[in-house]
Amino acid sequence: MDNLSDALEKLKIASTDSATDSVESCLDCLLKALANNSTEASMKIHEMGVLPLFPTLLHPQSSCTPKVANIIAEVAKNEFMRSPCVEAGLIPPLVQLLNSTDQEVLLQTGRALGNICYDSHEGRSAVDLAGGAQIVAEHIKSLSQNTEPANEKLLTVFCGMLMNYSNDNDSLQAQLISMGVIPTLVRLLGIHSHNTALTEMCLIAFGNLAELESSKEQFASTNIAEELVHLFQKQMEHEKKEMIFEVLAPLAENDVIKLQLVEAGLVECLLEVVAQTVDGEREEDIAQLKTASDLMVLLLLGDESMQKLFEGGKGSVFQRVLSWVPSHNHQLQLAGALAIANFARNDGNCIHMVDTGIVQKLLELLDRHVEEGNVTVQHAALSALRNLAIPVVNKSKMLSAGVADVVLKFLQSEMPPVQFKLLGTLRMLIDTQAEAADHLGTNGKLVERLVEWCEAKDHAGVMGESNRLLSALIRHSKSKEVVRTVIQGGGVKHLVTMATSEHMIMQNEALVALGLIAALDLVAAEKDLVGAGLVSVLHKLLSDERSAPEIKYNSMILICAVMGSEPLHKEVQSLAFINIVSKLRAHENKTVSHQASLTEQRLTAQS
């Protein structure tokens, strides 16, 4: 350290009288000290005020320049030195050196700028101000074809510099994207795939840039999919595969790139990874299995990529993914069920899958997860069943297969995501299925649980679905027994509240169900309807100009239906409904105006 202090003193003197030889020997001493103990030497350099001398030494024609840039690069490896480097005015002369033709100068300058930018807002801002990124981007573009080792080393440093410059900074990443960095880096990956260091640097840069939505379009216009799949096929090491996965995941969120990845053969690679790791117990096997199967499911979220892999239900990929469902591995069970849910996104696929016995596989999977089961697997399998139940022709087939009975086994679940999917699946199954709605609607335990979930204010989705299923049981069964079960279970007040929902479809479903309750068992429901304030709700719906025509229509039907109850009739009279209804006779919707005339006659006759 004493030698270092001497060298720093000498450097101060020598730098003023331009004695190149003595400057060179001082710089050598600095580099030696930094190699020996970087932190201590850097602190000494900072304390003795040597940094402000460096701008004058960073002369394009000087033989000392590469050493000075190298010292700055070494010093800037220490976090506490990055701001002092900026404050000492080192960025503008370093950026000027990027115009040099000397390879060593460019290499050390790239290192210095990259290290100053690492995790440093001040460093990045100064480089941005000096226009450094643009020059580096142009260098990479012009050098991209050259495969000489020295050139590849320079390209690696420059890519690293841009990465440090833009990491976790959306606006600087957007700047690089607008400079056209993405196509250049994709070209680099293709030309230099044999060079591990440069390849890794490109992958990290892609990982950073791919997080930005605006990058996806540029990536989609390159052959990134082919390059990444080609690179993936060559990798043997877990770490390398993971690096590629980290780029693939954000890119695969884009539907165009999904299709490109499928066409480039990524799916076959993923299936191979799954086959190799499914029985592995090492942590890296478990991690790779999860990443590969998750990515597979992500590729199926794109309509075109999904349909391409479905191949009319005969695709080998589709068949392989189906074989995951009965697997002993939870991760594969989950991915298999999610994949089925994704394949089940149009009627044709759903009908084919139900006809080929997929429902049975899902029911067996759910049965394995009833007692202390895996919640994510339960959720995924229920999602798949819900989607499969959407086409009308599938409903009776799925009911005959015993889907409702298996789904009801999860009625005791305390997990809102499972509750939500369970409710949605039952609602889909009973749509237009009177017998099933009757059977489920008279199940006291189910109705009791629905009423309980109608009050789940912390989980709006569960609350909404419970109300909708309660209404659906009445609407599709049109059964007095179901109505009675709902009344006894305390469900009426929830249907009245549902009529005030902000969603028109829910308002309408509630009004139709309440109309059936009033028509089928008004006497039993009367007390609950009064208690829930039904009449004032109907008054509000009819008075509100924003209410849709079908809401107005069903509200008037309901008014007529409750007139047979004395307390409800009195409420209707006290709220002067006749005034609102008579105005609705002039409504532009013919069904509404006709119903208004009928309702007015009824109100007049019974006043």
Question: What confidence score (pLDDT) does residue 24 get?
Answer: 81
Once rounded to an integer, what is the mean pLDDT over residues 570-598?
91
56 pLDDT band (50/70/90 cuts)?
confident
Question: 533 to each of 100, 121, 495, 497, how far by Cα in Å?
Answer: 83, 61, 11, 9
Q: How far apart are the first and last CA of the chain?
A: 106
Give the lowest-confidence range in 6-15, 39-48, 74-83.
6-15
Once rounded to an integer, what is the mean pLDDT over residues 439-466?
94
Predicted TM-score of the model (pTM): 0.82
Write the pLDDT tens digit of every residue in 402-434.
Answer: 999 999 999 999 999 999 999 999 999 999 999
pLDDT averaged over the chain? Answer: 92
At residue 564, the 3 state secondary structure works out as coil
Print the SS3 string covering 120-185.
Answer: CHHHHHHHHHHCHHHHHHHHHHHHCCCCCHHHHHHHHHHHHHHHHHHCCCHHHHHHHHHCCHHHHH
436 pLDDT band (50/70/90 cuts)?
very high
Question: What confidence score (pLDDT) does residue 2 get?
Answer: 55
Write the pLDDT tens digit of every residue in 260-287.
Answer: 999 999 999 999 999 999 988 888 889 9
CB-CB contact of 94 with 131 (8 Å)? no
313 pLDDT band (50/70/90 cuts)?
confident
Same fold yes or no, 1-130 and 151-264: yes
Write the pLDDT tens digit of every residue in 352-363.
Answer: 999 999 999 999
Question: What confidence score (pLDDT) does residue 341 get?
Answer: 96
CB-CB contact of 143 with 135 (8 Å)? no
Give CA angle at 137 (131, 138), nearest 5°.
95
Once rounded to an integer, what is the mean pLDDT over residues 436-448?
96
Question: What confidence score (pLDDT) does residue 57 get?
Answer: 87
6 pLDDT band (50/70/90 cuts)?
low
pLDDT > 90 in the chain, percent: 79
What is the rounded distance in angstroms from the CA atom of residue 142 to the CA atom of residue 457?
A: 61
pLDDT higher than threshold 60 for residue 65: yes
Print the SS3 string covering 394-446.
Answer: HHHHHHHCCHHHHHHCCCCCCCHHHHHHHHHHHHHHHCCCHHHHHHHHCCHHH
18 pLDDT band (50/70/90 cuts)?
low
What is the rounded distance in angstroms from the CA atom of residue 185 to the CA atom of residue 222?
A: 10
| Distant-in-sequence, close-in-space partners of 525: CB < 8 Å, separation ≥ 6 | 483, 487, 492, 517, 518
Classify residue 604 by burial, with Cβ atoms within 10 Å: 0-12, 13-18, 19+: exposed
pLDDT > 70 in the chain, percent: 96
| Distant-in-sequence, close-in-space partners of 545: CB < 8 Å, separation ≥ 6 | none
Which CATH code is given to the segment(s) 151-264? 1.25.10.10
Q: Which residue has the higher pLDDT, 48 or 124?
A: 124
What is the rounded distance in angstroms from the CA atom of residue 525 to the CA atom of residue 353?
A: 43
Once rounded to an integer, what is the mean pLDDT over residues 94-106?
95
Write the pLDDT tens digit of every residue in 520-571.
Answer: 999 999 999 999 999 999 999 999 988 999 999 999 999 999 999 999 999 9
Write the pLDDT tens digit of every residue in 147-200.
Answer: 999 999 999 999 999 999 999 899 999 999 999 999 999 999 999 988 999 999
What is the rounded distance in angstroms from the CA atom of residue 279 to the CA atom of residue 531?
A: 60
Question: What confidence score (pLDDT) does residue 48 get?
Answer: 86
Local structure of residue 391 (DSSP, 8 states): S
Q: How many CA atoms lie within 13 A of 503 on its CB side?
A: 11
Question: What confidence score (pLDDT) does residue 150 get?
Answer: 93
Give the lowest-confidence range in 6-10, 203-207, 483-487, 572-576.
6-10
Question: What confidence score (pLDDT) does residue 420 get?
Answer: 96
237 pLDDT band (50/70/90 cuts)?
confident
CB-CB contact of 512 with 469 (8 Å)? no
CATH number 3.40.50.10190 given to 1-130: no
User: What sign does the dihedral 375-380-381-385 (CA atoms) show?
Assistant: positive
Question: What confidence score (pLDDT) does residue 50 get?
Answer: 85
Q: In this structure, which topology does domain 299-432 adopt according to CATH?
A: Leucine-rich Repeat Variant (1.25.10)
Could you tell me the residue ranges of all domains in the chain?
1-130, 151-264, 299-432, 443-524, 533-606
Q: How many CA atoms lie within 13 A of 389 on its CB side?
A: 30
| Distant-in-sequence, close-in-space partners of 30: CB < 8 Å, separation ≥ 6 | 4, 7, 8, 11, 41, 45, 71
Question: What confidence score (pLDDT) does residue 379 get?
Answer: 96
What is the rounded distance in angstroms from the CA atom of residue 184 to the CA atom of residue 499?
A: 58
